[in-house]
Every structure is written in structure tokens, then in C-alpha cells.
A and B are shown apart, each in its own frame.
Chain A
Amino acid sequence: MADINLVTFCCENSAFLAAEKANMPGVKAVKVPCGGQIEHVHILKAFEEGADGVLVLACLHENCKHFWGNDRAEKKVNYVKGLLDEIGIGSDKLSYAPVASNNEIKYSELVKEMIDKLNEKGSTEGKVKK
């Protein structure tokens, strides 16, 4: 099985701290100042650059320091999932989840979940060759 490469967009107020602690191989954690700063193109570019899966992780609901950053991130993830279905990549390669800064266990569980899902699907036709 080819190595799976994941990109996780992590809010620096919560998930990024968990990501640093968890420090998982094959996972690139990208720091953002708030879930609200993530754009559709960032996620699409991550797939273009060869990521097998993308996770967007932000603060727990109603806990965003900037009030609605995490909700906006969730809405954007849902929109991009629609795009990914139309593109043919499939919306389950992308997911959104809230992660608290002290919960590196949840972070690693989410990453493992995505990796298992991707392994199940196997190599898809036309996937970026490693």
C-alpha cells in the first residue's frame, strides 16, 4: 500500500497545538490563525499538490475566539465536499471536525480514521502517481 499523505488545516488556537503534540508521520499540519481564514482554494490546492485526504480542524462549536470562524470553516468544507463529488474525487476524502487544544488523542484518532477510509478505497484510477 502506498504511503498515505494527509494535509490537516489546523486552527492555531486549538487543533494546531494538538497536532504538534501528536506529531504524526505522513501528516502535514498547516497552521491557520482561525478556521475562518480557510478558503475553498486552499483545500483544492492541497488535493492538486497530491494530498490523499484533507482534514479541517478547528475549535469546538460556540468556542471560537472570533465567534464564527469554526462555523464558517464547516460551511466551507461542506461546500467543497459538493465540489469534490462533482469532480469525481469523492467527498469522503475531506472532513471537518472540532478538536480541542489538549486533545491530541482525538487528533490522532481522526487522522487514523481518514487513513483507514483511504486504505479501504485503495488506489483509484487516475490518482496522482507517487
Chain B
Amino acid sequence: MSVQTKYPPAPEEIKFNPTVLVIGGGASGILSAEKAAQTGMSVVLLEKTAELGGTAAQFSSLYQSDLTPSQWLKDKISALEKNDKVTIHKNAELAKVRGQAGSFTVTINLAGNKEEIEAGCIIVATGMELSTKMPASVDVGAERFISQVDFEKKVSEFIGSEAKTFVFVIKEDDFLCGTANALNNALKLKSANHNVYVFYDEMKVSEVNMEKMYHQARQQGVYFVRGTSNFKIGQTDGSLTLTTIDPQLPVKLAKEIVINFDYLIFNEELLPGNDTEELASILRVNIATNGFFQEDNYHLEPVYSNRAGIYFVGACRMPELLHNIKEQADAAVNAIFKFSKADVKALMDEKPLIDVEKCAYCLTCYRSCPRNAIELLYNIEGAAWDGAPYVHPYACQNCGCCVAECPNRAISFPGYKDEDMQKQFQKIGGKA
């Protein structure tokens, strides 16, 4: 809201600005921007580096698709650049966010200059970091230990070459991407008559076609061994060896397996982006215990954040395969579109209202709102001081925490006022 003169503001003053701010120009950001522009909203896309593309630009293949990431990105980026509803800012960073859903005031840092833009909703698509940590310490032959991203670039070299032994190690793959890649490449190599071993902790195949790939791989003779933490890497006569015991065999039968291998391919650790914490404090959203952004409800509202009007798409919340990210981008934009059609007057009637004349400006409600839905207003008529707290009708989700915490009981909640509550148990003990 811009200059407010009355408290509470009239419903006409609560506007929804049909501009979507997309933070991050990787695959997630590009898909979100594309979809938002399709629905008719204008889009401002911020990219921290000098090029769009993000982490996907480093990959060599897309899951279950014939396009390569660079082809896919090239098409999408050129369409986006030609789209007159989309403004792209490169070398841009987010500096400050004020206001609530429908009317965020965002300050961005454009190569040293600060610029302010208004946005109705924000989509966070800042992606992830890849860290290449080897699964075991290695003294020699370091070039034979390859991370998945690097291996993908070379896999075609091995098709048609003499038979070699490849060991895939998928360690702690919570996000399925490592397993999907390993199965894909294992099948490719096995079809070219190499020896392939796959070491894994959990065989997570809950993705389209993954279970089929796993069965296929087993049928074609890929060896699957469970357990990635009890092997030793050594060297014998110039070739690398991996020594382990199959943990699924009974102890008496278990004997050491020794594998002479040529290449060991390990999956990268998928980590939250290194500015996730800073962004979370600028946007005032929650971070999950694993360092990624925290969605509102994993099953029902995976793209929503705890704050209305701010959405998470893509790896910044949880690394995902591209077709799932497309669904998330669509879901976020649909949510924004629905939001834009909300009936403000009806909303205002059911949200808590702060009696600003009783308010002591103690900021308790502002601090105790789990949605950070309370805005501090300035230049208000009828309020004693600047900084009057206001429960924003777009952002509030009716939990009533502010109502309970107010030390002056200055917030009234339609339907849950004291009189409403007390009426329910009045004289419950007979004649009191």
C-alpha cells in the first residue's frame, strides 16, 4: 500500500499488483516466468550472474527426454527474451522487501544501483549448489573418480570402446536425481557390454519409469550392492580395487568381494544455495532443518511458503527432475492467479482487526505472527503514532495467535471474540 490515510484502509485501497517477481534465472525461474507471462501478468526476472541457465546449464542430459539441457535452455531463453511481458535483469540481487502480498515493494541491487519495483507476488527459484565430495579418500588415480555431472559429459566416449568396469556409488540420495542418473548411465554402459556395479543406500524409484529402469538394469546384469559406507579403495598392480562385504548376506556366508574397477562415478551432494539464509531473512520466510526453504505443507501446499504471496519453485526448496519443476511452476502461477481474484471485502470481514486506539505499539503481534502477515503502516489518520500494526487481509491465515498475544487485548477476531467463546460455556456448572 502506498500513502495510507485511514485506518483500517478501505477495501478499494488493498490492491493486487499483477506483477510477478521471479528471483533466479535457472530452469525453475525460466519456467515460472514463462507461465506467469502466459496468464497475462507482467514478470520481472532477477538473475544473480551474467547468464540465465543456472545449474541445469552444467548438465548434459534431461531425464526421459531427447533434448539436451543446453538445447532446452536456448529455446526457452530466447522465447523469454522476446516476450514483451518479461523484463530480465542480469547481475541483479535482492536487497530489501517491504509490504505484504499484493503490494510488495522490492529494492533490487542492479550492478551497484538501487532500484525499487512493485510486485504482487514473489516466486523464489534460486536453485541449489552442487558439491563434489568423493565417497572415500583416494591417493592415486584421482582422474578415475568422476562426479556424475562430469561423467555425463564423457559417457559417449565409452560406447563402443573396449569393455571396462564401472562402479556407481549413490550415497545419501534423498532427492532421486542421483539414482535416476546412475540407472540411466548404468543401462547405457551395460548395453555397450561394460561391467557395471551400482552401490546404493536406498533404492528410491518413486518417479516415472524409474522402477522399469531398475528392473531392466537387473535383468541386463548390472550388479546392485547395498551399502556405500563399508568399502575400501586400494590399489593392486596398477589397477584400482574396491573391497567390500555384501551386508545383505548372513555373516557366516559373507566373504569379501574385491572388484577391480576402471572408473568410479559418484553422485554430487545437492546442497541449498549459499545465499538461502540471507534471502530467507530478507523475505522473512522459514528455512527447513536441511537448509533448503521450508514449504508450508509438504503434501498439500508444496509450493507455498509460510508467507502469503511468496512461493518456492524448484531446487531451492527441494531438488527435482525437470518435468516436476514444470508442474511446480504451473502450480505457483495458478495460486498467484487465484490470489489475484480474491474478494478483498469478504476477506476483510473475516480477518482479525487491530483497534489501533488501544494499541501500545509493543510489536508483540508483529513478532508472533507465524505468517509475518502484519504490516506496520505510516502516515495514518486515527492512529496515535507511525508504525501502526495492521493485519493484512491477503496475508493473514486466521490462526488467531496475534489475538491471544496482544497484551492490551486490542485485536478482535470475528466469530472468536471473548463473548463468542464465553457464550459457549456460560453457566456450565449450573447455578454458578
Contact = CB atoms under 8 A, between A and B. Distances in A.
User: Within 8 Å by CB, do A and B touch in the complex?
Assistant: yes
A50 B286 CA distance: 42
A36 B432 contact: no
Interface in B361-418: 368, 370-371, 397-401, 403-404, 413, 416, 418
A121 interface: no
B28 interface: no
B429 A52 contact: yes
Contacts of B397: 65-66
A68 B422 contact: no
A15 B306 CA distance: 23
B430 A50 contact: yes
A80 B424 CA distance: 20
A44 to B, nearest CB: 11
Contacts of B413: 33, 37
Contact of A65 (B297, B430, B432): B297
Interface string A29-72: 01011101111011001101111100000000000011111001
B403 A49 contact: no
Contacts of B399: 33-34, 36-37, 65-66, 69
Given A69-B370, A129-B431, A130-B431, A36 B425 contact: no
Contact of A48 (B370, B398, B431, B432): B432
A16 to B, nearest CB: 12
A123 interface: no
Bin the interface of chain A by size.
Answer: 20 to 34
A49 B401 contact: no
Contacts of A5: 428-430
A73 B370 CA distance: 14
A7 interface: yes
B426 interface: yes
26 contacts: A5-B428, A5-B429, A28-B428, A32-B400, A33-B399, A33-B416, A34-B400, A36-B368, A36-B370, A36-B401, A37-B401, A42-B418, A42-B421, A45-B418, A46-B425, A48-B432, A49-B427, A50-B428, A50-B432, A51-B425, A65-B297, A66-B399, A66-B401, A128-B429, A129-B431, A130-B430
Interface of A: 5, 7, 28, 30, 32-34, 36-39, 41-42, 45-46, 48-52, 65-69, 72, 76, 128-130
Given A49-B429, A49-B432, 20 more contacts: A28-B425, A28-B428, A30-B421, A33-B400, A33-B413, A36-B370, A37-B400, A46-B425, A49-B422, A49-B427, A50-B428, A51-B428, A52-B429, A67-B286, A67-B306, A72-B401, A72-B404, A128-B430, A128-B432, A129-B430
